[in-house]
């Protein structure tokens, strides 16, 4: 199935295979940053020069009081009007410690096979990943990051299309994370198209014998509004390790700290939800498209409890900490899934080489 261009790079097919290529950004090679100073953070370079983060993503660039959110709405109520926009950082902060704060953030970047449903943490500082640092003066910020342009002109209508990334979100203050799309390199909440909203209501007790958990829930924006049934659910767990100055998480699979694969459908139909019709079939669009990742941690225990109430979480919860709000993503790509075979093709833009992987698409 021949396609036009994605990210302005000509695609390729693998012989008679129905697989098509997609773009993958794994962030390895990007400069690490571990700052807690407002306005500082990751500066995209090289193969990632088309990315942007912080104020560079906002429609009102140059305004020190720039906000992503311009008005309160019911779809993203936990993104506030009061928080200034700030940059994402690039982890890991140091070897064995993904972010500066205890009990939050991954140990390292996602290192499992591309398209695996869950993934392990990399033990090396070379396994890079963007994350939001919610400690110190970055504790009350709205973190915004934008992809380069994706163009789906002449894309085959027979294939399913997904925005894919890996997500890690452990901590009592994770809050709300929202994915948007726009045709512009700068945007705002009232200008961009909302694709999916994620919340992370915390529960559990921070102590030597207990586990802190987040019941992560992701909801799609359908033609009828935010879907009432979550298309993504997962319980992130972090064991409280009193003897460690690091996250209290292993680099492997224990304690429920896997990276989780997220797939947001872009082909106009959702395979997950009871309301399958989505606002846009991006395969039929001709304009360049940019995806925005926006995260805002909770700034107090009252807000964290409001998220718990909104998501119906009643389990015991104590010891909210503002620094436990570090959210991370990795391996951002657009994935074409063959409607007939369920196979996926992947191209790694960082290495500029084709890399195909068969993966039966699991819609569960």
CATH of residue 208? 2.60.120.200
**What DSSP element (H or E) covers 304?**
helix 301-310
C-beta neighbour count of 64 within 10 angstroms? 8
Between 146 and 273, where is the model more confident?
Answer: 146
Q: Count other C-beta atoms under 10 Å from residue 286's C-beta.
A: 10
pLDDT digits (tens, 9 = 90+) for 71-114: 888 999 999 888 899 999 998 877 666 787 777 888 788 888 77
Q: Would 230 be classed as within a structural domain? A: yes
Structural domain that includes position 83: 23-32+50-58+77-357
Looking at the domain assignment, is residue 7 inside a domain? no
Whether 261 is covered by a domain: the verdict is: yes
**Is 2 within a domain?**
no
pLDDT digits (tens, 9 = 90+) for 283-323: 888 899 999 999 999 999 999 999 999 999 988 888 888 88
Find residue 219's DSSP bridge partners.
Answer: 197
Question: What's the total number of domains in the chain?
Answer: 1
Euclidean distance between CA atoms 107 and 127, whole angstroms = 10
Answer yes or no: is pLDDT of 270 > 50.
yes
The pLDDT tens digits of the residues spanning 157-190 come to 657 889 999 999 888 899 999 999 999 999 999 9
Cα dist. 173→24, 68, 158, 321 in Å? 29, 20, 41, 6
* Burial (0-12, 13-18, 19+ Cβ within 10 Å), 39: middle
Report yes or no on 186 lying in a domain: yes
Q: Are 201 and 215 in contact (CB under 8 A)?
A: yes
**The pLDDT value given to residue 340:** 55
Cβ burial of 13 (10 Å; 0-12, 13-18, 19+) is middle
pTM of the model: 0.85
- Residue 86 domain-assigned? yes
Least confident piece of the model among 68-82, 228-242, 244-258, 327-341: 244-258
Domain assignment of residue 68, yes or no: no
Residue-wise pLDDT for 16-56, tens only, equals 334 454 678 999 999 999 888 888 999 999 999 999 999 99
Bridge-partner residues for 216, per DSSP? 234
Query: Residues 94, 89, 58, CA angle at the centre, nearest 5°?
Result: 175
Q: Is residue 15, in this structure, part of any structural domain at all?
A: no
Residue 100: HSE in the Cβ half-sphere, 13 Å Cα cutoff: 17
Which residue has tokens 């261009």? 5
* Strands 23-25 and 344-348, bridge-based pairing: parallel
Region of residue 137 (left: phi > 0; alpha: psi -120 to 50; beta: else): alpha
pLDDT tens per residue, range 133-165: 998 888 889 999 999 999 887 665 657 889 999
DSSP reduced 3-state for 292 = strand
């Amino acid at each position: 199935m021949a396609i036009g261009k994605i990210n302005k790079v000509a695609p390729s097919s693998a012989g008679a295979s129905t697989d098509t290529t997609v773009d993958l950004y794994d962030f390895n090679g990007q400069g690490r940053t571990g700052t807690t100073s407002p306005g500082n953070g990751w500066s995209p370079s090289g193969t990632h020069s088309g990315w942007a983060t912080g104020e560079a993503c906002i429609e009102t660039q140059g305004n020190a009081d720039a906000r992503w959110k311009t008005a309160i709405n019911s779809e993203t109520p936990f993104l506030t009007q009061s928080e200034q926009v700030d940059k994402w950082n690039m982890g890991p902060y140091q070897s064995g410690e993904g972010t500066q704060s205890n009990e939050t953030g991954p140990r390292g970047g996602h290192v499992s096979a591309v398209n695996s449903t869950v993934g392990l943490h990399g033990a090396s500082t070379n396994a890079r990943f963007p994350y939001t640092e919610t400690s110190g003066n970055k504790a009350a910020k709205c973190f915004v990051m934008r992809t380069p342009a994706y163009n789906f002109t002449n894309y085959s209508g027979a294939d399913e299309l997904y925005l894919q990334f890996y997500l890690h979100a452990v901590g009592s203050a994770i809050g709300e994370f929202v994915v948007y799309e726009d045709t512009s390199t700068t945007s705002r909440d009232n200008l961009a198209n909302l694709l999916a909203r994620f919340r992370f209501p915390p529960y559990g007790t921070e102590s030597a014998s207990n586990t802190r958990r987040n019941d992560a829930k992701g909801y799609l924006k359908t033609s009828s509004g935010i879907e009432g049934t979550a298309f993504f659910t997962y319980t992130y767990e972090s064991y409280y390790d009193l003897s460690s100055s690091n996250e209290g998480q292993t680099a492997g699979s224990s304690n429920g700290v896997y990276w989780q694969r997220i797939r947001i459908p872009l082909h106009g139909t959702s395979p997950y939800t009871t309301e399958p019709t989505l606002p846009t079939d991006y395969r039929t669009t001709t304009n360049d498209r940019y995806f925005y990742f926006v995260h805002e941690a909770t700034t107090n225990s009252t807000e964290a409890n409001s998220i718990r109430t909104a998501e119906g979480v009643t389990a015991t919860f104590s010891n909210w900490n503002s620094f436990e709000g570090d959210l991370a993503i990795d391996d951002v790509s657009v994935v074409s899934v063959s409607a007939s075979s369920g196979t996926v093709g992947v191209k790694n833009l960082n290495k500029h080489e084709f890399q195909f992987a068969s993966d039966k698409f699991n819609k569960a």
